[in-house]
Amino acid sequence: MAQIAHNPDARPDYKSTLDLGAVLPQTAEVKGGHLWIGGVDTVTLAREFGTALYVMDEEHIRTQLRNYLEWTRYHWKDVDVVYAGKAFISIAMCKLVEEEGCYLDVSSGGELAVAQAAGFPASRILAHGNNKTLRELVEAIDAGVGRIVVDSLEELARINGLALERGLRQPILIRVTPGVVADTHQYIQTGSEDSKFGFGLRDGLALAAIQEALALPGVELKGLHMHIGSQIFALHSYAKAIEVIVHFMDEIREKTGFTVSELDTGGGLGIAYGVPDEPSTIKEFGKVIVDDIKEHCEQHALPVPRILVEPGRSIVANAGVSLYIVGTIKAIPNIRTYVAVDGGMTDNIRPALYGAHYEPIIANKADQPRDTVVTIAGKHCESGDVLVVDTPLQAAEVGDTLCIFATGAYCQTMSSNYNKQVRPGVVFVRDGRARLVVRRESYDDLLRCEVSECL
């Protein structure tokens, strides 16, 4: 990454923790000057479990799952909520998703293995991926996953062959790209025609895949899947995609006689990473998805299918925070002050990858105003290893516990061992209790795959 741009307009905002509103986990409180989540003092958690550390508000996660169930089923009874494990997956998370009566989307053999270790019912799992390996397909079919979401003709043929060898018919959905460009970062747009995912509607590719699937005895076509992108604020992108896909459902019926009985509209609802962010609510999302599908089906005289929604980020992002200890503070006159913490791009790659923005506070000064401007740097050997650039923050001192909000999604799951950094642990907090659900790695973990006999 090139030099970090200087922002001469950066100013303190004098906000303290509770002014950060929707960015916070739902149970966040300030007591005795400290940030508490789930009835637990985060400063104590950092000391007890070590930093960097991910802390997740279990009540927040459960509430989000329940909100999705409530506000989609409010409009149509036949809806299921499929939590997208890529946002954050662990055995504890899978158990929580199961307890809340939701389904699970896995996008690799590894995610499937975690779900299986959690005893997650295979019939409630959807297997994703634009290039599932043969081994991953075998594992998914042998596990008995409820649906494989098919992404290519090669994969369709492989699933058919594997299913026939086993004397079964594998239920599938066909992933289509509706050609709608979601209003989000281009790295997380997936529904446009130029996409490595799914089959495009233009040029008849999706229709050809449907015809092929209907002709194969080893697959049982249930319906369609789409996912137009992630961190989407404007619901009109969904409305447009639904219009296009229901029109395609009509075309399928007309040209093949097949009636789509399931439609998975993917995930993508945005969340508040920063104070000014105002994402749509789950209630608004549920209304647009379900009402628009119903309306367009009615126009085309199609039966309303079973609907699946696949949220990830909006379930876990705001539930999670990252805790660090401030190790060094470097003031460069007339340029910026770097506050360096004991983590960085290895536990949160999103700022370096997409320029993602986060809100930080000092957890042991949570009741104080953010009256300075600093840049929060990681500890890794890249000058782009910066977590938040020119951000308001309470006056930092070495030894402070720094908290970055909204890191529950796509941080732990995208973490790495760059610089042989050990990956942080994950703690779930609820009702005054903290439980370690993923332990912090050790140096032994770093050496686990080394083959010392090679010497």
Rounded to whole angstroms, the Cα distance separating 139 from 134 reads 9
Exactly one of 94, 297, 381, 454 is catalytic; name it. Answer: 381
Q: Write phi, then psi, for 255 (nearest 5 degrees).
A: -90, -20
| Binding region for ligand PLP (CB under 6 A) out of 215-223, 248-256, 312-320, 429-437 | 312-320
Determine if 87 is a binding residue for ligand PLP (CB under 6 A): yes
Q: Which of 27, 189, 314, 401 binds ligand PLP (CB under 6 A)?
A: 314
Number of residues near ligand PLP (by CB under 6 A):
16
Catalytic residue list contains 381: yes
* Single-letter amino acid code for the residue at 276: P
DSSP code of 198? S
Determine if 198 is a binding residue for ligand PLP (CB under 6 A): no
Determine if 310 is a binding residue for ligand PLP (CB under 6 A): yes
Q: Which is nearer to ligand PLP, 15 or 185 (CB)?
A: 185
From residue 341, how far is each of 39, 137, 165, 202, 365 by CA, in Å?
25, 41, 54, 49, 16
Rounded to whole angstroms, the Cα distance separating 65 from 43 reads 28
Determine if 105 is a binding residue for ligand PLP (CB under 6 A): yes
Rounded to whole angstroms, the Cα distance separating 455 from 159 reads 42
Rounded to whole angstroms, the Cα distance separating 207 from 262 reads 16
**Beta carbon of residue 272, minimum distance to ligand PLP (angstroms, whole number):** 14
Q: Which is nearer to ligand PLP, 59 or 111 (CB)?
A: 111
Determine if 407 is a binding residue for ligand PLP (CB under 6 A): no
DSSP code of 187? G
Buried b (16+ CB within 10 A) or exposed e, 247-275: bbbbbbbeeeebebebbbbbbbbbbbbbb
Determine if 266 is a binding residue for ligand PLP (CB under 6 A): yes
| Binding region for ligand PLP (CB under 6 A) out of 61-69, 274-282, 309-317, 379-387 | 309-317
Judged by DSSP in three states, 17 sits in helix
CB 180 within 8 A of CB 244: yes
DSSP code of 52? S
Interaction residues for ligand PLP, span 335-374 (CB under 6 A): none
Tokens of 88: 């954050």
Q: Which of 60, 62, 128, 440 binds ligand PLP (CB under 6 A)?
A: 128
Rounded to whole angstroms, the Cα distance separating 297 from 263 reads 11
Q: Which is nearer to ligand PLP, 130 or 372 (CB)?
A: 130
**Beta carbon of residue 3, minimum distance to ligand PLP (angstroms, whole number):** 31
Q: Which is nearer to ligand PLP, 285 or 428 (CB)?
A: 285
| Binding region for ligand PLP (CB under 6 A) out of 17-25, 55-63, 305-313, 411-419 | 305-313
Query: Which residues are catalytically annotated?
Result: 381
Where along the sequence are the contacts to ligand PLP (CB under 6 A)? 84, 86-87, 105, 128, 227, 230, 266-269, 310-314
